[in-house]
């Protein structure tokens, strides 16, 4: 099992009031799955994504990623897990504006401490994989929205992580570009990667093989496509 979550809760204190963003989640995901995590805003899906992505730690409960107990790790070990195991794709792309596509994709490898020639090779492979081999020296503002998101996908893939974690990856794109991006995720999944898609859009979620619906911090339904 790649992801194993048991009795996960996350409680935020808003003044005197406690908000149970996650209220006892149990979830298992196997390597190679393509899962959509769905829910309205306030359902807890962002909180779950942050914890799955090791950006945040739960208040209680356990989270095992690839047999490592992530929920008990400190900041720096979480950073190392994010670097090796997680590839993020954000709604707003989150590319460094002053760096070109090459350097943006290279960043995770720098933090991994990889040598320059090895980095160069990996970055070029990743950019070829998303069809941007001719845009390596372009900065984000010289690229279209779809191209930016593909740079972000290349960045997520470059470290060969266990999970690709996409948070509303098509939220800022028109429907045609969205289809391109979703096709890219399908290809990534078909290549053997585990893809977690966080979305509130039904037609985007329809691309996934399994759909987990959250409501008020609990799993409302967990269904697989026929």
CB of 226 to another protein, least distance (A): 35
Does residue 141 belong to the site contacting another protein (CB under 8 A)?
no
Does residue 14 belong to the site contacting another protein (CB under 8 A)?
no
User: Smaller CB distance to another protein: residue 125 or 179?
Assistant: 125
Q: Tokens 């090895």 — which residue?
A: 118
User: What is the footprint of another protein within residues 36-55 (CB under 8 A)?
Assistant: 50, 53, 55
User: Smaller CB distance to another protein: residue 137 or 224?
Assistant: 137
Does residue 102 belong to the site contacting another protein (CB under 8 A)?
no
Structure tokens of 133? 């081999």
What is the secondary structure of the chain as a DSSP string?
Answer: --EEEEEEEEEEEETTEEEEEEEEEEEEE-TT-EEEEE--TTSSHHHHHHHHTTSS--SEEEEEETTEEGGG--HHHHHHHHHHHEEEE-TT----TTS-HHHHHHHHHHHTT--HHHHHHHHHHHHHHTT-TT-TT--GGGS-HHHHHHHHHHHHHTT--SEEEEESTTTTS-HHHHHHHHHHHHHHHHTT-EEEEEES-HHHHTTSSEEEEEETTEEEEEEE--
Encoded one letter per residue, x for contact with another protein by CB under 8 A and - for no contact, window 111-130 reads xxx-xx--------------
User: Smaller CB distance to another protein: residue 136 or 159?
Assistant: 159
Q: Which of 64, 84, 138, 218 binds another protein (CB under 8 A)?
A: 84
CB of 115 to another protein, least distance (A): 7
User: Smaller CB distance to another protein: residue 84 or 218?
Assistant: 84
CB of 111 to another protein, least distance (A): 4
CB of 45 to another protein, least distance (A): 14
CB of 155 to another protein, least distance (A): 7
Please state the length of the chain.
Answer: 226
**Closest by Cα among 118, 108, 119, 52 to 84:** 108
User: What is the footprint of another protein within residues 157-176 (CB under 8 A)?
Assistant: 159
CB of 145 to another protein, least distance (A): 17
Q: Which of 17, 67, 75, 134 binds another protein (CB under 8 A)?
A: 75
């Amino acid at each position: 099992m790649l992801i194993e979550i048991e009795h996960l809760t996350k409680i935020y204190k808003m003044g005197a009031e406690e908000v149970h963003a996650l209220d006892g989640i149990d979830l298992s995901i196997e390597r190679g799955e393509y899962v959509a995590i769905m829910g309205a805003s306030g359902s807890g899906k962002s909180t779950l994504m942050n914890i799955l992505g090791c950006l945040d730690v739960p208040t209680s409960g356990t989270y095992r990623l690839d047999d490592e107990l992530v929920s008990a790790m400190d900041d720096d070990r979480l950073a190392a897990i994010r670097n090796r195991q997680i590839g993020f794709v954000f709604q707003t792309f989150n590319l460094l504006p002053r760096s070109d596509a090459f350097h943006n994709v290279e960043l995770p490898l720098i933090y991994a401490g990889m040598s320059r020639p090895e980095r160069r090779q990996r970055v070029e492979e990743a950019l070829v994989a998303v069809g941007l081999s001719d845009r390596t020296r372009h900065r984000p503002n010289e690229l279209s929205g779809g191209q930016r998101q593909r740079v972000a996908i290349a960045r997520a893939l470059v470290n060969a992580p266990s999970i690709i974690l996409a948070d509303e990856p098509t939220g800022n794109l028109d429907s045609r570009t969205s289809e391109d991006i979703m096709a890219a995720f399908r290809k990534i999944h078909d290549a053997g990667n585990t893809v977690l898609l966080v979305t509130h859009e039904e037609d985007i979620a329809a691309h996934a093989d399994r759909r987990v619906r959250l409501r008020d911090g609990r799993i409302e339904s967990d269904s697989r496509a026929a």
